[in-house]
């Protein structure tokens, strides 16, 4: 299996890149799909699991696996709708996700486009750090990604934006611990 993945690494990476782009296109053009996905994103399990996907992303970057990195990105973005719609949602969660939906569906000016470009730029920075085996820079980027998400959430969501703080901090601590442990274990002969 490993030889198959290495032999077809770039081909598999393209497949997952196309799937990820297709997910974004479907989300952009289908209001029904957009709302269906966000209804399931009310389940806070998806809030806790999403940051954990940065662990395999870092691992695959460290191992120089394009397919692993793109598969992880695809799984991270689609994980928002893996869990069932909760029967009841916390009021802050509902308010925050409504703000997020409004932000995504609202007018796209230059500032919003620059802010949205920070997401792929963050992945590129994180991937490059671990690809070049710079664990300290990689962990710094992880912290900056989490801090950026928390800052954006509170700045745009106000009090409801605080609802992501605990999942983001827990996810960040798990990511730092697991990446640090994994990288050091991978470096040992």
First-to-final CA distance of the chain: 22
Q: What is the pLDDT of residue 1?
A: 46
pLDDT score of 2 more than 60 = no
pLDDT band at 189 (very low <50, low <70, confident <90, very high): low
Q: For the chain, where are the alpha helices, taking DSSP H only?
A: 2-7, 9-29, 31-41, 45-52, 54-62, 66-78, 91-105, 110-131, 135-157, 165-187
Q: Which residue has the higher pLDDT, 18 or 3?
A: 18
Q: What is the pLDDT of residue 188?
A: 65
pLDDT score of 93 more than 90 = no
Mean pLDDT of 42-66: 87
Q: In angstroms, what CA-CA distances link 142 with 49, 83, 87, 129, 157? A: 15, 25, 33, 10, 22
Mean pLDDT of 97-116: 89
Length of the chain: 189
Most confident of 20-24, 41-45, 49-53, 181-185: 20-24
Q: What is the pLDDT of residue 16?
A: 95
Q: What is the pLDDT of residue 24?
A: 92
**Residue-averaged pLDDT of the chain:** 88
Mean pLDDT of 1-13: 73
Q: What is the pLDDT of residue 140?
A: 94
Q: What is the pLDDT of residue 64?
A: 92
């Amino acid at each position: 299996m490993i030889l198959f993945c290495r032999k077809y690494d770039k081909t598999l990476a393209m497949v997952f890149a196309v799937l990820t782009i297709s997910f974004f296109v479907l989300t952009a053009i289908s209001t029904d799909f957009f709302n269906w996905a966000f209804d399931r994103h009310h389940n806070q399990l998806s809030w806790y699991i999403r940051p954990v996907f940065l662990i395999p992303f870092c691992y695959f970057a460290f191992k120089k696996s394009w397919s692993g990195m793109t598969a992880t990105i695809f799984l991270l973005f689609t994980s928002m709708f893996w869990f069932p719609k909760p029967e009841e949602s916390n009021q802050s969660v509902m308010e925050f996700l409504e703000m997020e939906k409004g932000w995504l569906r609202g007018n796209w000016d230059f500032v919003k486009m620059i802010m949205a470009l920070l997401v792929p730029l963050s992945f590129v920075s994180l991937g490059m750090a671990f690809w070049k085996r710079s664990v300290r820079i990689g962990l710094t980027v992880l912290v900056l990604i989490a801090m950026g998400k928390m800052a954006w959430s509170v700045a745009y969501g106000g009090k409801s934006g605080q609802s992501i703080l605990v999942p983001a901090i827990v996810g960040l601590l798990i990511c730092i611990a697991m990446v640090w442990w994994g990288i050091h274990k991978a470096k040992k002969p």
